[in-house]
């Protein structure tokens, strides 16, 4: 009997990176099935409650027909986001805002709007690992400039950056505050990047999803505040972290270049619209939650950051930089391969019936071999649970080494 021929899936489907944040999910499921309790430091899913009024904003206006909305989002939400920026002293018109299905879609639209297949985007590693997946889907090559824990993962000098810019480079991509390092770029760093973008005729794509969460009295410097680069800047944003509503799947883009916005609108029209209900809730949050809300949430994350530093400082062989914002840290461990260690924690280890899940670091780098001894920790759990999660991590390290 001959074996039937079956067509093969595409190269991109075969080669796209498995998410280091989610690829261990089957091992986690198996651990849970064995009765092990897992502390999730692997994923940026905050435990901060979704603001209760979010729900009433939705339930108070349930429509008879859950209809398509405009492709660029509900006008009231675009206006509310314009107001949010206005309160931060940044002038953004509602027409410069396009609502997306999560920050994820904002990144995909941005990449597709500035790159054709085979074009390149220069980014700074370690970077948000899902950029890899988006780039593969968009046919874009990510060219990494390596940033170093020795200077807190801040920007390398111009020469190091410009040396990676080539004929096919179309954009620089930053995440500020940074996922996975927690680094907050200084205003002069953001200005320096805008200067390079201008000099080399590139777009500057800025993922500013964590812009509200900066610590120790810092202020956030947005690319939207740099003068003279209105037409070359795209901001990618999300309500997922801002209002602890990751499952809503709402984000947005700020684009002040009308030609570029016209192209992005056509991408948006193809997929019809972002989720309608979630927009009702988001309008409420943007209109009613301001500085008080953000400073409360930020101080929660800052305290957790301090707990992280305290707990990790007691663990031998661990090295890390003090995060300046967001709620992530890249942490070096005294192991050769954190992919193996993270899997081992789920598969072979438990401490009084509990274990900790972390994201292996290699997937946050594009340069092969880098990040193999690092993990990304998302400090999104309340203090007692985080202390326990990090205690388990320490005990796991000791047992793994032995």
Q: Which of residues 223-262 bind its own copies (CB under 8 A)?
A: 228, 231-232, 244-249, 257, 259-260
Pick from 31, 99, 115, 214: which binds its own copies (CB under 8 A)? 115
Closest CB 257 distance from its own copies, rounded Å? 7
Instruction: Rule CB under 8 A: say whether 201 interacts with its own copies.
Output: yes
Residue 125 forms beta bridges with which residues?
146
Instruction: Rule CB under 8 A: say whether 167 interacts with its own copies.
Output: no
Residue closer to its own copies (CB basis): 104 or 300: 104
Binding mask 57-76 for its own copies (x = CB under 8 A): -xx--xxxxxxxxxx-----
Closest CB 306 distance from its own copies, rounded Å? 23
Tell me the site size for its own copies, rule CB under 8 A: 92
Instruction: Rule CB under 8 A: say whether 49 interacts with its own copies.
Output: yes
Residue closer to its own copies (CB basis): 175 or 333: 175
Residue 374 forms beta bridges with which residues?
332
Closest CB 312 distance from its own copies, rounded Å? 25
Pick from 85, 203, 365, 379: which binds its own copies (CB under 8 A)? 203
Helix (H) or strand (E) run with residue 261 in it: helix 258-270
Residue closer to its own copies (CB basis): 221 or 239: 239
Which long-range contacts (C-beta less than 8 Å, at least 24 apart) are formed by 304-309?
304/379, 304/380, 304/381, 304/382, 304/383, 304/386, 305/182, 305/215, 305/329, 305/379, 307/379, 307/383, 307/386, 307/387, 307/390, 308/377, 308/379, 308/386, 308/390
Q: Footprint of its own copies on residues 309-368 (CB under 8 A)?
A: none
Residue closer to its own copies (CB basis): 55 or 401: 55
Q: Cα–chain-centroid distance for residue 220?
A: 16
Q: Are 375 and 338 in contact (CB under 8 A)?
A: yes
Q: Are 107 and 316 in contact (CB under 8 A)?
A: no
Pick from 274, 361, 363, 396: which binds its own copies (CB under 8 A)? 274
Instruction: Rule CB under 8 A: say whether 269 interacts with its own copies.
Output: yes
Q: Are 94 and 79 in contact (CB under 8 A)?
A: yes
| Cα–Cα nearest to 127, from 167, 180, 89, 192 | 180
CB atoms within 10 A of CB 219: 9
Instruction: Rule CB under 8 A: say whether 370 interacts with its own copies.
Output: no
């Amino acid at each position: 009997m001959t074996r039937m021929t079956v067509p093969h899936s595409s190269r991109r489907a075969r080669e796209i990176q498995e998410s280091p944040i989610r690829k261990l999910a089957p091992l986690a499921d198996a651990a849970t099935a064995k009765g092990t309790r897992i502390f999730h430091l692997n994923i940026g899913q905050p435990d901060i409650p979704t603001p209760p009024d979010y729900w009433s904003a939705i339930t108070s206006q349930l429509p008879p027909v859950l209809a398509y909305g405009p492709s660029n989002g509900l006008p009231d939400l675009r206006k509310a986001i314009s107001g949010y920026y206005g309160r931060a002293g940044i002038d953004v018109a509602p027409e410069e805002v396009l609502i997306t299905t999560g920050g994820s879609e904002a990144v995909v639209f941005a990449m597709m709007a500035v790159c054709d297949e085979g074009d390149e985007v220069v980014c700074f590693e370690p970077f948000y690992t899902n950029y890899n997946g988006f780039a593969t889907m968009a046919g874009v090559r990510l060219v990494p400039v390596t940033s170093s824990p020795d200077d807190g993962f801040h920007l390398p000098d111009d020469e190091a950056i410009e040396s990676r810019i080539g004929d096919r480079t179309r954009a620089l991509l930053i995440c500020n505050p940074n996922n996975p390092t927690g680094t907050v770029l200084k205003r002069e760093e953001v200005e320096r990047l805008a200067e390079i973008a201008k000099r080399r005729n590139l777009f500057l794509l800025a993922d500013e999803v964590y812009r509200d969460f900066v610590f120790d009295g810092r202020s956030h410097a947005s690319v939207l505040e740099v003068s003279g680069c209105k037409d070359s800047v795209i901001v990618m944003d999300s309500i997922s972290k801002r209002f602890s509503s990751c499952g809503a799947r709402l984000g947005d883009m700020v684009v002040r270049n009308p030609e570029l916005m016209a192209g992005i609108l056509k991408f948006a029209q193809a997929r019809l619209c972002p989720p309608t209900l979630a927009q009702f809730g988001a309008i409420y949050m943007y209109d009613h939650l301001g500085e008080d809300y953000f400073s409360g949430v930020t101080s929660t994350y800052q305290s957790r950051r301090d707990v992280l530093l305290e707990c990790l400082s007691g663990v031998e062989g661990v090295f890390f930089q003090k995060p300046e914002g967001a709620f992530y840290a890249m942490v070096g461990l005294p192991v050769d391969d954190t992919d193996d260690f993270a899997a081992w924690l789920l598969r072979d280890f438990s401490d009084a019936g509990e274990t900790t899940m972390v994201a292996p670091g290699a997937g946050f780098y594009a340069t092969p071999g880098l990040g193999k001894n690092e993990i990304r920790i998302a400090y999104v759990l309340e203090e007692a649970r985080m202390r326990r999660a990090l205690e388990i991590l320490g005990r796991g390290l000791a047992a793994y080494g032995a």
